[in-house]
Chains A and B, each alone.
Chain A
């Protein structure tokens, strides 16, 4: 393999930023979403508008924030308001075009789990004693309920079950609860009249959703990975027949990412343990 001039998080940021088109209004969560949107604004989408749930519109970061509501996240913004306006009017009222979200698990229909689960994936669990806990869904449920969205997730087997252990953000097929039974229905039928997942960008590949089945298929695999190996890590019988290898990012875009978007390595260095 030729010498790789970019890192995995950089590849994820570049691949995810391709979903941001110029002029879009984007809701971003903390982490890679924020990095990705900032990259898009500094490259191909200078007129994109970033929304953050603390209550800021169109921020132009001078320093990457540690939080979606810290002083750095408001730098250069044109409106400061509150969470109600961002999640209620903009995400819920559909005055935004897309969201970039993180998750602990994602399933075949693009349902996310950001919060908890049993010790062994697939087992039932007691809500008063969850086997594992992550941070929680924050505004990801609200954004996913009203907007098209792209998911960023670390590529590890346990993160791709056929059905998420605890569903926090709705994908294409969702749960309806009737008389003690759980029924799976299309999101539209459940009452979610807008939005839905467009893609899952992992640290190895990009998955998109089949028009008919709404099940995620392998669309792209990153240089250095291969579809057969990726399939082994996915909890559903993923279609890899349409997969193509991703174009490596240009050196120019990597330079912008390193020197202009995140020179302090807030996100590109990986979180400090």
Chain B
């Protein structure tokens, strides 16, 4: 059988799979396993009108917002935890109404992906009960006119019902399935057909991948499927749900990939500072995105010294000597 290879460059993956107006799920978790190589390329290819949805956000939200790619976000958080408590540009755009933000709890988002992954219309939870997350007056996607008009969006944000089985539970919150047009995830290891091995905590990647209509997988190392088969317990995502494999070193720079490389705090500090500063933002985007030809050019600009300083020590899965002083008040 002569299967078409799924292996491609970041530019090819974006060109083939990412279109204006898509719903895109971003895997990883704030400063871990976010496929920046793909998000940079989306800016370079001038993608517009993206609706991001994710279990967990991170810098790509800020990057896509600043690059004019973003229409809205469905999620639970707009920040990078201690690295950037709140994304300054994105949150300003939300306040001014330029980018809409539909608010769900963290677990609710993963349930929505899980429902889509399972092919069921909704899943139940206690989460969000009693709060404004299910206040009908705060239905953002509804106010944006997406319900009943764009079939990718559910007819309601949620549905609360009496538990028909166990009286003690009283009300239960049903959450609609969410199937993104494209899911973008990162794994440390991928087989040549797309079997993926994620090391460290998984976040919501497995559910997001199964829920996606198409899945782009960036990886640190590309290996044979035979090698992946030697330890099948360590693999989480089967090859048949992967559409593109993008094997590039440091695909997640400036964030980390457990066991392979640490985050680049000085870069992150400059990036977030520039995103919050009208006089610096475009200059930063020019320097690090638009004037960069491709991922290899990006790595060349970063330089071997900087990249090797991020290399993880296998005893820790990160670099214990990584310079984190940009975020410490010593």
Report A's interface with B, CB cutoff 8 A. 30-31, 52-56, 62-63, 66-75, 80-84, 87-88, 91-92, 111, 115, 127-139, 141-142, 145-146, 166-170, 174-177, 180, 182, 185, 187, 189-193, 264-267, 269-272
Contact = CB atoms under 8 A, between A and B. Distances in A.
A169 B131 contact: yes
Contact of B203 (A30, A54, A145, A176): A54
Given A30-B81, A71-B258, A271-B82, A92 B76 contact: no
Contact of A66 (B76, B103, B327): B327
B170 A130 contact: no
Nearest to A64: B82
Interface stretch (B29-37, B218-226, B283-291): B29-37
A218 B204 CA distance: 40
B132 A271 contact: no
Contacts of A52: 201
Nearest to B96: A129
B201 A74 contact: yes
Given A66-B31, A265-B329, 11 more contacts: A71-B316, A130-B94, A136-B76, A141-B127, A142-B127, A177-B134, A190-B171, A191-B130, A191-B160, A191-B171, A271-B85
Contacts of A130: 94-95
11 contacts: A63-B318, A92-B107, A128-B140, A133-B95, A135-B86, A136-B76, A142-B108, A166-B138, A174-B130, A193-B170, A266-B328
Interface of B: 29-32, 55-56, 75-83, 85-86, 91, 94-97, 100, 103, 105-108, 110-111, 114, 125-138, 140, 143-144, 160, 163, 168-173, 200-207, 256, 258-259, 262-263, 312, 316-318, 320, 324, 326-330
Given A67-B29, A67-B80, A134-B86, A83 B129 contact: no
A170 B317 contact: no
Given A67-B31, A70-B263, A271-B82, A191 B105 contact: no
Contact of B137 (A31, A127, A142, A170): A127
B100 A128 contact: yes
A84 B105 contact: no
Contacts of A128: 97, 100, 140, 143-144
